[in-house]
Amino acid sequence: MPTVKLFPDTLMTDLESRVDNDDSLLGEIIRGPQRPILNQISALYDNAAPAVRKRWQESLRSTDNRKFFQGYAEAISAAFLVNAGWSIVDVCKPKPCLILKHADGREQRLITLAFLQAIQSPQEKSAIETLARVANRADSDRRITILVHKWTPHEFDPEPVRRCIDIWLDAIAKGNWKGRYATYEDDHIHIEFTRTDEPTKPGQGSVAFLLAPNNGSTTMDLVESRMVYELDMLLKNSDPSSSLLVSLVTNTKWMISPGLIRSLLYGRPIWQVTNGVAENNKFGFQVGEGGPALFQEEGYHRLGGALIIDQHEDRGPCGRAYLNPWSAQALGGDDVVCTSFAAERSEDDFRVMSWC
């Protein structure tokens, strides 16, 4: 057991007293309702290998937000595995990652990608909520998605957007609109609407999901490019027999739709069965179908899955795992303590996936 505390009393007292002149994430956690999370991280630290403790002493005590959040994201990611029977035994190179070992002898490399995003302003949050309410009242036989490409603070008036949606849907109903996309743009906001194939049920709003500007397509492009780059570097320079797990962590809520995450990792499903209850949804995936997908590519068969972790104001860190059903060293739902998207049935290169 280490004799040096991860968060010394002097550090805690100092940051606790800095109310008006400290904007560090560590200080915010110490002074806020999520302070107990630091106790959980300290417990991980106490049982981690010396090399891990040394690295966390540097990052998790830092008032530099990027440095602290990388260490925080790494520790939170490891917690989802430690609680499932894994131990943190070492750090690994060439990228900052952890080596974990299971009680059954299996070894896993965990690479954590931290995404420190700007917190949505109250004005922006209010405007987005207003936009969603207005669009939900639209009379559409098919559900629609909304992607906000651009936003600048202003006195948001939803009426022009509402009229745009009504004109678009009326043109579709009359057969005068080709395709399923429409856009609205002025000096302050640029919005893209998509009409999906999902019918709008009685009593259900028209909006399937809304992607806010900080978490829209730009974020998805950044996530994909960074994940591919980091994984390629690690796979190229690490032991070819090692198994990998990637964790994507943000300090806000991921507003990227589950469908975009599924498409990136598995491709589009060749069929799916849904009844409105997430736990009962099933998706069928086939290698070579549904477009490019990370998990399907032979070069990523060492990748056992992806952890997606975000931060909810009222609940703290929340995670979900997307497991790779084609991995040479596949992980199971009991290898991580969170909801998992895992294979329910396998046949050759075909997989039926569901949440467990």
85 half-sphere exposure, CB direction, 13 A CA radius? 10
Q: How far apart are alpha carbons 28 and 19 in whole angstroms?
A: 9
pLDDT tens digits for range 3-37: 689 999 999 999 988 877 788 999 989 998 889 99
Residue at a domain's end among 211, 240, 271: 211
Domains identified in the chain, total number? 2
Q: Which of 78-82, 143-147, 262-266 has the lowest mean pLDDT?
A: 143-147
Helices (H), the chain: 9-17, 25-31, 36-46, 50-59, 65-82, 122-136, 159-173, 217-237, 258-266
Residue at a domain's end among 211, 244, 270: 211
As given in the structure block, the two tokens for residue 23 are 């904007």
Residue 218, C-beta contacts closer than 8 angstroms, at least 6 positions apart: none
In terms of domains, do 324 and 230 share one?
yes
Confidence tier at 84 by pLDDT (50, 70, 90): very high
**What is residue 18's three-state secondary structure?**
coil
Does residue 50 belong to any structural domain of this protein?
yes
pLDDT of residue 214: 55
pLDDT of residue 23: 86
Q: Which domain holds residue 48?
A: 36-119+214-356
Residue listed under structure tokens 């010394």: 8
**Selected residue with higher pLDDT from 157 and 68:** 68
For residue 209, count CB atoms less than 10 angstroms from its CB and return exposed for 0-12, middle for 13-18, buried for 19 or more. middle
In terms of domains, do 129 and 112 share one?
no
In terms of domains, do 90 and 62 share one?
yes
Q: Look at residue 97 and tell me whether its pLDDT is greater than 80.
A: yes
CA end-to-end span of the chain, whole Å?
A: 35
Confidence tier at 203 by pLDDT (50, 70, 90): confident
pLDDT tens digits for range 229-287: 888 888 888 788 889 999 999 988 876 777 788 889 999 899 888 765 666 789 999 99
Cβ–Cβ under 8 Å, residues 191 and 183: yes
In terms of domains, do 220 and 323 share one?
yes
pTM of the model: 0.77
Confidence tier at 218 by pLDDT (50, 70, 90): low
Residue at a domain's end among 211, 240, 266: 211
